[in-house]
Amino acid sequence: MADTTDLEELRRGTDLVKRGFARMQKGGVIMDVVNPEQARIAEEAGAVAVMALEAVPADIRKRGGVARMADPADVEEIVDAVSIPVMGKARIGHTKEAQILEAVGVDMIDESEVLTPADDAYHIDKRDFTAPFVCGARNLGEALRRIDEGAAMIRTKGEAGTGDVNQAVHHQRSIKGAIRKIEGMTHEEREAYAREIEAPAELVHETAEMGRLPVVNFAAGGIATPADAALMMHHECDGIFVGSGIFGAENPPAMGEAIVEAVNNWDDPEALAEISKNLGKGMKGDANADLPEEEQMQDRGV
């Protein structure tokens, strides 16, 4: 056993360490929680991480007004309550909220359109942080711009707090469809496409060669049932965020466990049938089609 390990060469916050953290979440369910009690229920149900926030998106939507980062004291309580990773949401472009969340010790920061954007032109420069970031995207251009800014994980935006999976499907299909398209392109066609979607050419080439986003790609926004979660896995997502779908349901522990098991069994309809039985009422939700444009969150931060 050697004792000569060089401590001088220890490095934190590298892309490998940040993206590596995101990779460990794959095949898992990340659940929105607003207090330590919910965090414990989520952990017990098999969540790979919890997202600590002040109110779930469905309530943010109902309440209106400016939605901000949660009180750091509340986030800290949740951090102390569970052994799994804890994530927190900062407003788009709000570098200080993100720094505060990092100081509190959250394991990943969600620069999220669910909160009211703090900057209408720029996102946070995520490369400056030791903590990894996840960002929402509706299409390949948005996804690659966020990765260029330093995001270690991409999630579909979907339409948060609606309980309608329709927009998450739309965004995931858009990202995957664009990747299939660039896979068939020549070098110069990819260069032109990069300009068209306003993404760095280097990342377009890398994505085309890998046949997938260079970082982990989760689904989020409107996932409310085990079947919804399985549908997003069918669309080749690496894992699932569930916002209001668990604690907005009649029986959160049962719904949480069922969604975790559905992600593992997404390609087994008989197992999904068993998993989906007798879960009580899901969250009520609002159909995306009925949502006036000014109430949509997905158009924030492109």
Partner 1 sequence: MTLEAGVVAVQGDVEEHAAAIERAARSRGREVTVHEIRESGIVPDCDLLAMPGGESTTISRLLREEGIAPEIRDHVEAGKPLLATCAGLIVASSDARDDRVDELGLLDVSVERNAFGRQKDSFEAPLEVTGLVGENGDGDGDGDGDEDESPFPAVFIRAPAIDDVTGDVDVLATWEDRPVAVKQGPVVGTAFHPELTPDSRIHGLAFFENEAASVPEGGTLESEAESEAQTGAGVR
* Stretch near partner 1 under the rule CB under 8 A, chosen from 39-47, 142-150, 168-176, 180-188: 39-47
Annotated ligand binding at 239? The verdict is no
Candidates 18, 26, 89, 96; catalytic one: 89
Strand partners, 52: 33, 88
Cα(288)–Cα(159) distance, integer angstroms: 7
User: Is 26 near partner 1 (CB under 8 A)?
Assistant: yes
Q: How many residues bind partner 1, per CB under 8 A? A: 45
The secondary structure element, H or E, covering residue 108 is: strand 108-112
For CA atoms 34, 37, 38, 39, the dihedral sign is positive
Determine the Cα angle at 174 with ends 170 and 178, to 5°: 170
One of 44, 80, 125, 209 touching partner 1 (CB under 8 A) = 44
| Residue 128 burial (CB count, 10 A) | 11
**Sites for partner 1 among residues 248-277 (CB under 8 A):** 260-261, 264-265, 268
| Residue 172 burial (CB count, 10 A) | 27
Contact of 82 with 41, CB cutoff 8 Å: no
User: Is 16 near partner 1 (CB under 8 A)?
Assistant: yes
Residue tagged 């990773």 (tokens): 85
**Sites for partner 1 among residues 108-127 (CB under 8 A):** 108
Annotated ligand binding at 243? The verdict is yes
One of 33, 34, 39, 48 touching partner 1 (CB under 8 A) = 48
89 among known catalytic residues: yes
One of 68, 100, 105, 302 touching partner 1 (CB under 8 A) = 105
Which of 12, 48, 4 has the alpha carbon at shortest distance from 27?
Answer: 48
As annotated, the active-site residues are 89
Site residues, partner 1 (CB under 8 A): 1-7, 9-14, 16-17, 20-21, 23-28, 43-44, 46-49, 79, 83-85, 102, 105, 107-108, 130-132, 260-261, 264-265, 268
